[in-house]
Amino acid sequence: MANNSILAATAEPLVARPSVNVLTGAFGILLAVGIVTGLYGFIVGHEHVYNVSREVPWGLLISTYAFFAITSTGLCLLAAISHVFGGNKLAPLANRMVWMSLATILSAFTVIGMEIASPWRMAIYNIISPNVTSNIWWMGTLYGMALGFILLEFWLILTKHYKLALALGILGALAEVAANTCLGGVFATLAARPFWYGAQLPVYFLACAFLSGAAASIIFTHYAYAIRGKKMEKQMFEGVQAAGKVLLLMLILVSVSTFWKMASFYVGGADGGRTAADALYTGPLSTNFWVIEVGVGLVGPIVLLVITRMKSLYVMSLAGLMALVGMFISRLDMVTAGQIVPVFSGMDSSLPEYLNYVPSGPEWIVTMAGIGLTGVLFLQGERFFGKRFADNEEH
């Protein structure tokens, strides 16, 4: 009865339009087909359905996990900041950001669950045999803690226990930041992979989190009004503009960071790092890098936001979508470039300059499961919790 009364106070039955139900069904099909494909991989063996190998063990599913996890961190951080410093222009977006942070971290777990050969063993041994010296153990543990904190925070928001929700939100944000930097540390501490190795990636991932979180908050807020066929209120539009300013700032910072990271390989360091950078500049990954990561994901959104001065909701939403596409490809480029240079390159003349990795069809289908879950949770969140997303005056 209590749950029914909460839903009655927060639900928007009008959102359950036929068109929205059809869209939910389409996302649900993506999710179902992706999960079935992942389960098929468990039965026949991942080596038969994924194009990863002993030489290139991490592929599209790892980069997709990183993309969703980093986006979740950004949404959680922006929500926590807007709740802590009440009265700011981002506050109207905060409750929806909490829900979408939850949705994206669940999507990340779904994708990585299909990638790991024995996810059930990971869950068991993570608890009974912890390895506190492992970045991967800390990453999984901290993201799991963050998931618990965000779930509790959102429940408290639904029940209007805002002070306690604020405390849980802060804990969730701290856990997400720690997990995000550990995710960067998984790559940054691998000395055998010079393209990743170094202190930059954990901080770079945090900058990408703010970028992705701001972009996601813009497009999900826009889509929330689009599915209702409703004009956005002035207060909410100003919140989207504030998110646009955060997005523009982070686009500039990530652009500068990208330039210096790539430039650093040409003024010293290991030859393998320079060869990996060449793969992005002029090699097999150059189209991804220049056209999508740089052009679509960084330069394009900056130009759109500056020219329109963030006065157009549609342009801000387009810029946010372009930035997220760029971030997705950026994660794939980073994961791939770090591995396609053979570890013993230069020591064995029989080795190719670059190893080959192209994501398989099943890898893309499993990736679609993450997108499908995010879509389903977004639409159903608007249906069942829509009134609470618009309720921000107590924060």
Which structure tokens are listed for 257? 């960071």
Distance CA 232, CA 218 (A): 12
Domain residues for 26?
Answer: 2-389
Tell me the average pLDDT of the chain: 93
Closest to 332 (Cα-Cα) out of 59, 57, 49, 54: 59
Does 264 map to a domain? yes
Q: What is the pLDDT of residues 68-89, one digit of tens each?
A: 999 999 999 999 999 888 778 9
In the predicted structure, residue 59 carries a pLDDT above the cut 90: yes
How far is residue 16 from each of residues 12, 25, 272, 326, 379, measured CA to CA in Å? Answer: 8, 12, 54, 32, 9
List, as one string, the DSSP characters of 164-182.
HHHHHHHHHHHHHHHHHHH
Which structure tokens are listed for 87? 């009265």
In the predicted structure, residue 100 carries a pLDDT above the cut 80: yes
* 160 φ, ψ (degrees, to nearest 5): 65, 35
Which structure tokens are listed for 121? 């063993």
Distance CA 44, CA 216 (A): 36
Distance CA 46, CA 356 (A): 17
* 231 φ, ψ (degrees, to nearest 5): -80, 140
Distance CA 58, CA 219 (A): 30
Q: Residue 269: pLDDT band by 50, 70, 90 thresholds?
A: confident
How far is residue 297 from each of residues 99, 208, 377, measured CA to CA in Å? Answer: 25, 11, 25
Measured CA angle at 248 (ends 172, 245), to 5 deg: 70
List, as one string, the DSSP characters of 262-319.
HHHTTSSS-HHHHHHHHHHHTSTTHHIIIIIIIIIIIIHHHHHHHHHTT--HHHHHHH
Distance CA 22, CA 3 (A): 26
Distance CA 207, CA 277 (A): 21
- Size of the chain, expressed as the number of residues it contains: 395
- Spatial contact of 326 and 63, defined as CB atoms under 8 Å apart: no
Distance CA 381, CA 360 (A): 32
Q: Residue 2: pLDDT band by 50, 70, 90 thresholds?
A: low
How far is residue 30 from each of residues 26, 79, 143, 219, 278, measured CA to CA in Å? Answer: 6, 28, 25, 20, 35
Q: What is the pLDDT of residues 162-203, one digit of tens each?
A: 999 999 999 999 999 999 999 999 999 998 899 999 889 999
In the predicted structure, residue 93 carries a pLDDT above the cut 70: yes
Does 210 map to a domain? yes
Q: Residue 121: pLDDT band by 50, 70, 90 thresholds?
A: confident
- Spatial contact of 160 and 311, defined as CB atoms under 8 Å apart: no
pTM of the model: 0.96
Residue 77 burial (C-beta neighbours within 10 Å; 0-12, 13-18, 19+): buried
* 95 φ, ψ (degrees, to nearest 5): -65, -40
Which structure tokens are listed for 1? 């009865």
Closest to 106 (Cα-Cα) out of 147, 153, 152, 71: 147
Q: Which amino acid is at 175?
A: A
Does 123 map to a domain? yes
Does 98 map to a domain? yes
Q: Residue 351: pLDDT band by 50, 70, 90 thresholds?
A: confident
Q: CATH number of the domain that 77 lies in? A: 1.20.1630.10
- Spatial contact of 53 and 343, defined as CB atoms under 8 Å apart: no
Q: What pLDDT is attached to residue 201?
A: 93
Into how many domains does the chain fold?
A: 1
Does 395 map to a domain? no
Task: Name the least confident of 285-299, 335-349, 353-367.
Answer: 335-349
Closest to 102 (Cα-Cα) out of 21, 157, 49: 157
